[in-house]
Structure 1
Amino acid sequence: MVKSKTRWKMEEVNQELALRLQQQLHISLLLAQLLVGRGIETVDAAEKFLGGSVQDFYDPFLLDGMEAAVNRIRQAIDNDESILIYGDYDADGVTSTSIMIHTMRMAGATFQYYIPNRFTEGYGLNEGALVKAAENGFSVVITVDTGISAIKEAELAKEMGLDLIITDHHEPPETIPDAYAVVNPKKPDCPYPFKMLAGAGVAFKFAHALLGELPHHLLEIAAIGTIADLVALVDENRLIAKLGLKALEHSVNPGVKALKKVCGIEGKVSAYHIGFGMGPRINATGRLETADRAVKMFITSDYEDAERYACELDELNKERQELVEAIAAEAEELVLAMSEEERDVLVVAKEGWNEGVIGIVASRLVERFYRPTIVLSINTEQAKAKGSARSIAGFNMYEALTTCADILPHYGGHPMAAGMTLAEANVSELRRRLNELARAWLTADDYIPITKVDAICTLPEANLETIEQLEKMAPFGLGNPSPKILIEGVEIADLRIIGKDENHIKCQFRQDGVTLDGIGFKMADIAAELSPRDEANVVGELAVNEWNNQRKAQFVLKDVTVLGLQVFDWRGTRSKTEKLAALDGEAPTRIVSFRSQGQLQLEQQAQKWRTLQLEPNPEIRQLVLYDLPRSYKELEDALNVHPELERLYCLFGEEPNTLPSLPLREQFKEVYKTVYLHKSLSRKDIPLLAQAKKLTPSAVRFILEVFHDLGFLKKDEQSYQLSQTNEKRDLTESVVYQQQKEALELETELLYSSYQSLRAFLKRFTLQDAGTKEKIYHGF
């Protein structure tokens, strides 16, 4: 048995609606089920979701404050006033700033841009920057991706005669800043029909409004910001992402082309390329230094400059990766050193950790330990700790931090992620309180990750045509994740470990005569848990594997469960000790030895196995047959006392002192004639008799023992003697003969059979009832 690593939660779908969509749109039932599962229940909604064009964009002037903002910028352009674009240092802020710069250029504005330093100024609009703007003669400041919480800063701008225009997408506070104009779809009473635009999306809408037409050439930058900011890829976000990704394939923007090159992106561009290629490189500059060079890359018209900036981003990203790896390793050591009482919520802190990457480290720890996590960087000079939090389903991080507000002078966020600052002296208290809270809020099941399963399909349904239909649901991301598909009752075959670091697996899934290639990234550890021909339920993603201009269906494995007893064929292994050492040490295990108990005990003592047992135990999950049983009864006794058995390992090989076959009746007669002629046979003469009769000494001893068992011979320590009896008896009446016959039959069944036969035999044996036992025992 292999248990799934996550909890599978099946999405319930209205099958009647799915069938209707299938028939009306002429699509596969699987695609129809997925659409309904995502709330797309009508033909019009489905066609818009699967298609989408520029005509589907909403009027930008539906955004409250847009008209006032555009009119003020046009006035500034007409009067040649200086405009300051105030941005942010993450990928969304960088792309928002770049969109606004391109827009101002096209509109003929006089402007400059400014992005605050993460480490010296922190997040958001700050008073110092506004004071400098006023001193340098700017009359209008327009923010992108920030400003919605800048209440004091808006008051200051007003006092200094600065007209502040805020464009943002974050959650607004109860009081909206008193600015010249505030453009935010989440602003109360804003009539805009879509509330979840990224900062880059809001900047794109502003460009549309100011320029009077849709800025097609800015779609690619808007898509990068939208996807990198992890906003829900639905409605207008989906439209920006879909059209922007298409534009990225044929971009003429020098910065975009250079960034694609350092990311190794050619041909079709997907959301994955942005999420794991472009986005991290853009973010790296703001995490380690300033985000200025990322903006310069997007706005330059010189390809050589763009390439230089892109290469610098690439190098910074490598530096960022090394930094994350180092801090994550230190953080993991701190977690492993914690007591059990401190591991319900992980709070780790250390002096000198880079504040720009601790959010990534927190995500890493959640992925590794699946616990709500806070990573804090300590500044000993200020006696403060600044941190980032990531959570799991069921633990509302923002609500949890709110219960600790008395020791958190600054905190904010949402249920799954947050940030905070606190006194260094209160770190231990924060850890204690949050762990206490988790014990009240969470159950043991909450610490097992959840995999949301979108639909079930059979292997024959998972064909190339169906998968190509599913591709129409892309781009995938938050709010529109790549569908997780469950396929039940498949056979896992041709399993092998691949990859430079040997950390991936490749296999084939088989069902009803159909095969499907499978791959599991970073799942090499599960290979040892799977035995050939296991029947499994698998969860993963259907994809197209393109190689040498050929397209094949492929299943990207995410999780697997195998029900019932697994049989592992380790027969004839050279090193039994190595195999035993490779067993899962967490599962209760028993080793059964029928012939080599002493040797096994020596090996167990040498290896110091604490979890392996030699005696029966009803809680045993893994059973190792160390050597061959000599009878069906021995095998039955070994197997049937473990009702919870999940895995059976066959470690036996050719054991010593086993006859290769039963002697023939003629050979029995020849040996008996010799003893009859001489009336006795000395034990020391057995090798000579064996040589004369062309038998092995063990075969002669066996024949003599059978005759003794039948009463034809007597024996003592020195010899066998003829017994005076006239009774006729058949060889099969001898218990010794029958035991050897049974041992040889069992040896043939267990040792020389194919894996498939061995597996079937042992499974049948463990599940046998009174009716099948006679067949297995061949009547004995």
Structure 2
Amino acid sequence: MIESTRKWKIQNPDQLFVQRLQRELGISSLSAKILASRVQTIDEAKHIFYTDDTHLHNPFMLSGMKEAVERIERALNRGDKILIYGDYDADGITSTTVMLNVLLDLGADVEYEIPNRFIHGYGPHEELFRKAHDSGVQLILTVDNGISGIDQIRLAKELGMDVIVTDHHEPGDELPPADVIVHPRIPKGQYPFGELAGVGVAFKLAHALYGEVPEHLFEYVAIGTIADLVPLTGENRYLVKKGIEHIRKSTNPWVQALCEVSGVKQHEIDEEIIGFYFGPRLNAIGRLDDAKPGVEFLMSEDRASAALGAQLLNQKNNERKDFVNTITEEAIEMIENNPDIKNSLVLVVAKEGWHSGVIGIVASRLVEKYYKPTIVLSIDEESGLAKGSARSIDGFHLYNELAKNRDILPHFGGHPMAAGMTLTANHIDELRNRLHQQALECLTEELLTPKLFIDVPVDLSEVTVEAIEEIQALKPFGVGFEKPIFAIEQVSVRSMRKIGAKEEHIKMELENAYGIIDAVGFYKGYLYDEITYGVKLSVVGDLQINEWQGRKKPQFFISDVQTSEWQLFDLRGKANAHQWLKLVPADSSFIAFREETVQCFHGILPSIQLVEDAVMLSLSPFLVLLDLPKQIDEMEKLIETAKPKRIYAVFYTPNPLFFNGMPTRKHFAHYYTLLKSRPFINLKEHIPHLSKHLGLNVDAIQFMTKVFFELGFVTIENGLISVNPFTEKRSLTEAASYQLRKQQIEMEQQFLYSTYSELKQWFNERIKDFSYS
């Protein structure tokens, strides 16, 4: 049995709807299944499959757009000084770049400002607004922020500056006193698509100012939209798709420089490369330092400056990775070594000096590892304050639960799944204790079990190169239109081997009655020692195309594996216990039926349990059977008691009887006749001669002698054997030693010298009725 890392929830799309999608859109069953798991109607499916210019809405449908354009045009005509006020993340940096491009194109007197995460924090800041006023700014244009800057914008107005707010974040009950607000959800329902990123809103404003679609700005929109994790549906889907097309063909030096430092090929850029390579590098600059070099990089006009900017972003990203890895390791060590933290349903970890710019990433890592709501705090020794980020799981509404602790949480904000906060360091333990008690009321065992939602069950007959290539038309995948997770159920392993310099990965061929597919599991080399041939597996992961020397083949990238079948691992004949021990899980039960076996493996194996009447007090579902029992029912009782999920068959037998066999009745008769012909025989002295004369080995002669003695056929006194003339006629099978040898030979034949399939069948017949649910 192999348990999955998460609880699988396999969706089964409506087959009639799948077939209808296939017919009306002329697509494969794979693409149809993906769409069926995401849409309700054929029109919705067409909207996704055929994304075109009709998805781009008129920018003047946004409330305030007309007024914003009029005010900016007035500033252009009068020569007013304009300040673009951005944000320090990838969305904010790209938003700033978009507006900087359009205003410079239109001849504006423009500069930009981005607050420093560590000095100013997020959003409008009074000090920076005063500085803008002192420098002669007459119009502030916020991008990707401003909707919550009520007091700061009021100050700007008091200082005599006009303010246009463009933002996409959740508005509060009170709106800022700006001259114009451009927001896709204000007023609610007016604009057809309310999920634009900050850069999406900036792009709409650019569109309105240019009077035509600014094709040259699509690249920035794609990066900012993907990096900000807004839903990739509707207009966002169109903007990202167009942006990726432009980036792949772009001659902008910053695109080429970013590809070079990221180690990616420009023509292969897609939403995953942007999300995993480009976005993090832009985010890193603002996480660790001043974000302005990010804007300078995106505005690069020559290769030299672009290369320098890309190297800086790459350096900051590497520093960010180092900080994240170090803090994560320290946090895990803290959790594992402190029962109060580890046993809490809400993990709260804190330490002086942790970099506050990356602790949100650390919190996400810890949620992934422990699957509990997690808060990571950085303590400032000088102020005594702890500043942190939190990430949650389904069922624990972070904002609401934190709100119950306002008396010790003077500053916090966020939403159900993420939050930020500041509190005094001496309240950290109290916060942990309170949140644990709150979690007891709302987090059930079911909610604390990580789940994997699998939306596309696949039959191997459906998997073709053409079908996988067709799935590319459904891109981009992301929030709101997630990348599909495929499941292939009940397949067998045709072949498998470890690959990679350190044998960390596994390559397999999986098959069933419908076909064969190559499969690769990165960092899953351990599965080689956990999977046995013949077992039925289910795998989940991603379908890709492997191209080698001009040939294309489907390939499955494994993310998780499970099987409900028990497994037999054949370790028979492996003499070196130090070697086979590496193949056995650490939490296995090592079982011996004989005391001499315990002595033999003493000091080599962990604690060995000796079977006594086949009653075991505590057994792992993973059994290592070190030897053979004296009677077969001992093995049967053990299997019934343990209900094993895995059996590792060692069956150490130092003196096997199988090949010596059982002497025949003719052998017994010949030996008995020889004994009768002499008054006595000194067994010790004459056994070599007897062995040669009878054609039997010494063990067989000693065994026959013991049988005769137990039946009363002979007497043994001082090593001299003589026939008892007054014995009654008895069957050889009445002797206990005869029965024991017979059973031992049968057991050796059954367990020691049977084929793998014969051995598994024997256990199968005794395990088949067990339930592992």
TM-score (norm 2): 0.92
Counterpart of 1:352, as a letter, is G
Residues 707-757 of structure 1, C-alpha deviation per residue, up to 9 Å, x if partnerless?
556665444561433344898888778765554344334323322333333
Structure 2 unmatched ranges of 5 or more? none
Q: Distance in 2 between matches of 1:749 and 1:733?
A: 23
Q: CA deviation at 1:26?
A: 2.6
Pairing of 1:222-237 with structure 2 (within 5 A): 222-237=221-236
What is the rounded CA distance, in whole Å, between the counterparts of 1:402 and 1:633 in structure 2? 63
Give, in whole Å, the separation in 2 of the partners of 1:115 and 1:221: 17
SS at match of 1:568: strand
SS in 1 for 2:276: helix
Q: Distance in 2 between matches of 1:333 and 1:710?
A: 68
Query: Cα offset for 1:458?
Result: 2.5
Check if 1:609 corresponds to 2:607: yes
Q: Say if 1:765 and 1:263 are closer, same or farther in 2 by CA, change over 3 A.
A: same
How is 1:395-434 mapped onto 2 (pairs within 5 angstroms)? Answer: 395-434=396-435
Question: Is the alpha carbon distance of 1:163 and 1:500 closer, same or farther for their aligned partners in structure 2, counting shifts above 3 Å?
Answer: farther
Residue 329 (structure 1) aligns with: 329
Q: Indicate if the aligned counterparts of 1:659 and 1:699 stay in contact, CA closer than 8 A.
A: no
- Cα deviations across residues 650-700 of structure 1 (Å, max 9, x unaligned)? 122443253524256465565445434335432212233224555421122
Is 1:517–2:518 an aligned residue pair?
Answer: yes
Code of the aligned partner of 2:627: D
The CA distance in 2 between the partners of 1:613 and 1:654, in whole Å, is: 16
Q: Distance in 2 between matches of 1:500 and 1:289?
A: 38
Inter-CA distance 547–637: structure 2 relative to 1 (3 Å threshold):
same
Equivalent in the alignment of 1:93: 92
Distance 2:164 2:137 in 1: 13
Deviations 1:466-506 (A, max 9, x none): 33333332222211222223332222453444445554333
- 1:347-746 matched pairs, under 5 angstroms: 347-500=348-501, 502-512=503-513, 514-576=515-577, 579=580, 583-586=584-587, 590-595=589-594, 597-600=595-598, 603=601, 609=607, 616-617=615-616, 620=619, 621-642=621-642, 644-662=643-661, 665=664, 668=668, 671-684=671-684, 685-708=686-709, 713-716=714-717, 718-724=719-725, 736-737=737-738, 739-746=740-747
CA distances 1:102-151 after superposition (whole Å, capped 9, x unpaired): 22233232211111111111111111111111111222211111111111
| SS across alignment from 1:487 | strand
Q: Tell me by how many angstroms 1:355 deviates.
A: 0.8
Does 1:194 pair with 2:200?
Answer: no
Looking at structure 2, the residues matched to 437 and 601 of structure 1 have their Cα atoms a distance apart, in angstroms, of: 53
Residue 74 of structure 1 aligns to a residue whose secondary structure is: helix
- Tell whether the 8 Å contact from 1:5 to 1:448 is kept in structure 2 after alignment: no
Distance 1:737 1:560 in 2: 49
Given that residues 83 and 132 in structure 2 are in contact (C-alpha distance below 8 angstroms), is that contact kept between their aligned partners in structure 1? yes
Partner of 2:276: 276
2:248 aligned with 1:210: no
C-alpha contact 2:258 2:310 (8 A) present in aligned 1:
yes
In structure 2, C-alpha distance between the alignment counterparts of 1:55 and 1:424, rounded to whole Å: 54
CA contact (8 A) 2:52 2:238 kept: yes
- Structure 2: how far apart are the matches of 1:92 and 1:12? 36
Q: 1:648 Cα deviation (Å)?
A: 1.5
Distance 1:220 1:734 in 2: 90
The one-letter code sitting in structure 1 at the alignment partner of 2:330 is E
The equivalent of 2:156 in structure 1 is 157
One-letter identity of the residue aligned with 1:390: R
Asked whether the 8 Å contact 1:346–1:373 carries over to 2, the reply is: yes
- Report the alpha carbon displacement of residue 185 of structure 1 after superposing the two structures with TM: 0.5
Deviations 1:221-241 (A, max 9, x none): 211111111111111111222
Shift of 1:549: 3.9
Q: Aligned partners of 1:355, 1:494: CA distance in 2, in Å?
A: 48
Q: Alpha-carbon deviation of 1:188? A: 2.6
CA separation of 1:409 and 1:503: change in aligned 2, threshold 3 A: farther
Contact 1:185 1:192 (C-alpha < 8 Å) held by counterparts: yes
Q: Which secondary structure does the structure 2 equivalent of 1:329 belong to?
A: helix
**Which residue of structure 1 lines up, in the alignment, with residue 760 of structure 2?**
759
Question: Which amino acid counterpart does residue 429 of structure 1 have in structure 2?
Answer: E
Show CA shifts across 1:515-562 (max 9, x none): 222233344455544333322333323233344443322222233322
CA distance in 2, matches of 1:468, 1:707: 79
- State the match for 1:82 in structure 2: 81
- Residue aligned with 1:564, SS: coil
Moved more, 86-95 or 533-542: 533-542
Q: Secondary structure at the match of 1:143?
A: strand
CA offsets 1:212-262 (integer angstroms, 9 cap, x no match) = 221222212211111111111111111222222222222211111100111
Q: How far 1:563 sits from its partner (Å)? A: 1.3
Tell me what 2:293 maps to.
293
- Structure 1 CA distance, aligned partners of 2:698 and 2:378? 78
Query: 2:410 and 2:549 mapped to 1: Cα distance?
Result: 58
Aligned-partner Cα distance in 1 for 2:691–2:467: 71
Task: Give the direction of change, closer, same or farther, for the CA distance of 1:617–1:653 in structure 2 (3 Å limit).
Answer: closer
- Pair 188,55 (structure 1): closer, same or farther in 2 beyond 3 Å: closer
Q: Equivalent residue of 1:452, what SS?
A: strand
Report the Cα offset of residue 304 of structure 1.
1.2
**C-alpha distance in 2, partners of 1:742/1:485?**
50
Bigger drift between 182-191 and 526-535 goes to 526-535
C-alpha displacement of 1:57: 1.0
CA contact (8 A) 2:99 2:202 kept: yes
C-alpha spacing 1:449/1:433, structure 2 compared with 1 (3 Å): same
Shift in CA distance, 714/51, structure 1 to aligned 2, threshold 3 Å: farther
Q: Which amino acid aligns with 1:270?
A: D
Quick one: structure 1 residues 425 and 735, their matched pair in 2 at CA, closer, same or farther if it must change by over 3 Å?
Answer: closer
2:243 corresponds to which letter in structure 1?
Answer: G
The answer (yes or no) to whether the contact 1:681–1:721 under 8 Å persists in 2 is yes
One-letter code of the match for 2:165? I
Paired AA for residue 318 in structure 2: K
Cα distance, 1:23 vs. partner?
2.1
| Shift in alpha-carbon separation, 1:407–1:598, aligned structure 2, 3 A | same
Q: Is the 8 A contact 2:658 2:749 kept in 1?
A: no
Moved more, 455-464 or 356-365: 455-464
- Counterparts of 1:715 and 1:514, CA distance in 2: 70
Determine if the alignment matches structure 1 residue 185 to structure 2 residue 197: no
Write the letter of the residue equivalent to 2:52. Answer: S
Contact (CA 8 Å) 1:591, 1:613: kept in 2 or not? no
Q: Secondary structure at the match of 1:480?
A: coil
Q: Distance in 1 between the 2:547 and 2:166 partners?
A: 42
Question: For 1:598-648, what per-residue CA distance to the aligned partner results, in whole angstroms no more than 9, with x for missing partners?
Answer: 441685677663999876237632322111334433432332333x32221
Identity of aligned residues (%): 40
SS in 1 for 2:123: coil
Contact kept? 2:593, 2:610, Cα under 8 Å: no
Q: Could you say if the C-alpha distance between residues 561 and 716 of structure 1 is closer, same or farther in structure 2, counting changes exceeding 3 Å?
A: farther
Q: Structure 2 vs 1, CA of residues 367 and 522 (structure 1 numbering), >3 Å: closer, same or farther?
A: farther
1:318 maps to 318
Contiguous gaps of at least 5 residues in structure 1? 770-780
Aligned pair in 2 of structure 1 residues 388, 668: CA closer, same or farther (>3 Å)?
Answer: same
Letter aligned with residue 88 of structure 1: D
Question: Is this contact kept in 2: 1:497–1:505, CA < 8 A?
Answer: yes
- RMSD over aligned Cα atoms: 2.8
Residue-pair matches, total: 764
Distance 1:373-1:503 versus aligned 2 partners, 3 A rule = farther
Which amino acid in the other structure matches residue 100 of structure 1? M
